[in-house]
Chains A and B, each alone.
Chain A
Amino acid sequence: MDFGSLLHTISSITPDRPWGIDIPNYFWFTGSSAAAFIISSFAHVFGMKEYKPIAGFSLLLAFVLLVAAPMNLIDDLRQPGRIINFFFYGWENFPTSPMKWGVLLLMAYPLLILAEAIVLYRPYFTMKKGVVYTKEQEEKDHRLGVLLGAIGIPLALSVHGYTGYILGAVHAIPLFHTPIMPILFLASAMVSGTGLLIILLPIFQKFFTDFKRIDYAMMQRLARLLAWFIVIDLVIRFFWLTFAITFNNEEKYALKLFFGENFWEVLIVDYVICLFVPMAIGFIRFFSRSLKWVLFAGVLSAIGVWIFRWNTVIGGQSIGKTTPFLLEYHPHVFGFDSILSVVSNWSLLIALIAAIMALFPWDKEMANYYTKEQ
């Protein structure tokens, strides 16, 4: 009902909002992990040969991202010492609490990726030990790899899709409350994951392999893939926003208020700069042939999806439920759920990437494809 202007005079109570900067960062990590896994499955499960050289690398990347991601959640808890309570109690809420599903997925998924990576790299490990790797064994491992990959795809989709569920289930927050949220999150995840791969692949190929050569054709292919993922993302966002803002019930007033106030951040920064520009780079051959432009597109899209996660998680919570107008969020610099937490999480990610890439012979495997070509 709208009777015109309305004034709240004594309502100077700031309601609590639980989720801070850790949560968008967590969503970005799981999303990018799911995307890296799907890209590795292009070769492992769907047999797309052109993605073979990066399949192992992106599988390891998926693993590392997913090991680092849950740290954000633990840091966001007010009582992180009570994690065990999650496993012991509250199972009657399993059907209605997506958070309950999530923790199980967060445990199963990295184990599966690790198993797949071990199977994939077994020939190299056995070679090191001096054990002969038979043809029979190779075929067996290949079948096992395909099977694990095939189980992994729905698991990867779930591990990120459930995060969309977590938000979508919150009917108290108009920006979260849409059944399209899991799909929207998956689509934007594919964008950030491809972006991250575009950033990391040339660095690793150039500096940490024996062949020390960047695969330019692969970079162009990834740029094009990124552009297509952006198209899918934009189409889903188009459906989301047109229905949510135009044809919605009273939630549309909150969304109009939100998007009106954050017009610059959402439309110009997120959509135009961080989605349209990388899409154009991916589709226009002049740009996608240039490594610099492709890297630029990768960086933009990875940042853009982070901003989208931020706009959704923080922006959604900024909408007042009982108070007028919007709330404002200022992350702490130190302590739990702070800017420093996110910086530490990224440092952990980098350390884990270094450790995993040192342990697994991804460079030997990758070199196979390039030496064969020559």
Chain B
Amino acid sequence: MPSKSRREFVKKATGFIGVSTLASTHAHALSLTNPGRDAKDARYVGQEGKRFGMVIDLRKCVGCQACTSACKSENKVPKEKFRTYVPEYELGSYPNVRKAFLPQLCNHCAEPSCVSVCPTGATFARKDGIVVVDNEICWGCGYCINACPYDKRYFNPISNVADKCTLCAHRVDHGLLPACVESCVGGARVFGDLNDPASHASRLLATFPATVLKPASGTKPRVFYIALSGEIQSLPYSNGILDDAVRKREGALHKEWSSKGE
């Protein structure tokens, strides 16, 4: 019967196409992670056995923004984007006021909320805990940017994908310090292997009480702060301020997303 033979043909042809598609795809085509990790590329694996982190001794930070500019030039961070910066706060009320500086960077969390939501596996934590983005895999959905409680991710306007602090992995893998640490004039930023009890960072953590930003978010940050004021620890929500008005005058409101001036 012609109709039956046609059906047979369709069945066989579909089967053949299906099997050959599966067989022809490269072994790495379907991956739990991403091709770089599958290939065990050293840049993706990191330094096994180590756990990098940072201790920021706020008693020594003078708010000079050397780290901000060193990071920008080292990592060629595009205009108006920042991997690290040092916001300045005025605490208390007159006459009992004081300034506080809060250097911020990606916390390279032990439980990174940005990684678990990534639908392409482009962002991941290396074995040494550094959270990175593969900018050739990322499709730029921005889920990780919203998932980060610390606002430490941005869209890189050049690569058009999510970007962030890498703890200067390219330097660290060659035995150098991250640019922000290298340039810190007060020695406030201390980088080190938290798994090594003899590292400077571990010793600081063993000596002084240290804490993290927004501990309630449950991400277990690996950037610790010494002498962090409780007032700014959770980066509290606040009302509009004068600074926003300045930004409005400077024309920031013409951008797609901008701070809302009063």
- Using a CB–CB cutoff of 8 Å, the interface residues on chain A facing chain B are 1-20, 73, 76-80, 82-83, 85-86, 88-93, 96-100, 103, 166, 169-173, 176, 249-250, 253-254, 257, 317-332
Contact = CB atoms under 8 A, between A and B. Distances in A.
A176 B153 CA distance: 19
B258 A169 contact: no
B209 interface: no
Contacts of A4: 92-93
B147 A253 contact: no
Contacts of A96: 116-117
Given A9-B90, A322-B150, A324-B238, A78 B260 contact: no
B85 A78 contact: no
A77 B120 CA distance: 12
Interface string B223-262: 0000000111111111111011011000011111111101
Contact of A89 (B31, B91, B236): B31
B117 A171 contact: no
12 contacts: A6-B90, A6-B232, A17-B145, A17-B146, A18-B142, A73-B141, A78-B142, A79-B139, A85-B139, A97-B117, A97-B118, A324-B240
Contacts of B104: 322
Contacts, number: 244
Contacts of B113: 171-172
A242 to B, nearest CB: 20
B247 to A, nearest CB: 6
Interface in B114-161: 115-122, 137-143, 145-151, 153-155, 160-161
B80 interface: yes
Contacts of A18: 141-143, 145-146, 155
B199 interface: no
Interface residues of B, number: 78
Given A8-B241, A325-B238, 17 more contacts: A2-B236, A12-B246, A13-B85, A16-B151, A16-B153, A18-B145, A78-B140, A80-B139, A85-B139, A90-B32, A97-B117, A170-B117, A171-B217, A317-B257, A322-B87, A324-B241, A328-B260
A172 B119 contact: no
B24 to A, nearest CB: 14
B146 A86 contact: no
B19 interface: no
B197 interface: no
B74 interface: no
Nearest to A19: B142
A223 to B, nearest CB: 37
A77 B90 CA distance: 39
B173 interface: no
Q: Is the interface of A mostly helix, strand, loop or mixed?
A: loop
A43 B133 CA distance: 49
B86 interface: yes
Nearest to A325: B240
A77 B140 contact: yes
Nearest to B82: A13
Contacts of B235: 321-322
B206 interface: no
A11 B92 contact: no
Contacts of A13: 82, 85, 87
Nearest to A174: B237
Most-contacted residue by chain B among A99, A172, A176, A317 (CB, 10 A) = A172
Given A7-B89, A12-B243, A86 B119 contact: yes
B260 A326 contact: yes
A319 B255 contact: no
Given A18-B145, A318-B260, A6 B33 contact: no
Contacts of B29: 88
B8 interface: no
B137 A89 contact: yes
B196 interface: no
Contacts of A330: 253-258
B160 A317 contact: no
A328 B143 contact: no
Interface string B166-187: 0000000000000000000000
Given A85-B122, A93-B117, A328 B139 contact: no
Given A9-B88, A89-B122, A321-B150, A253 B34 contact: no
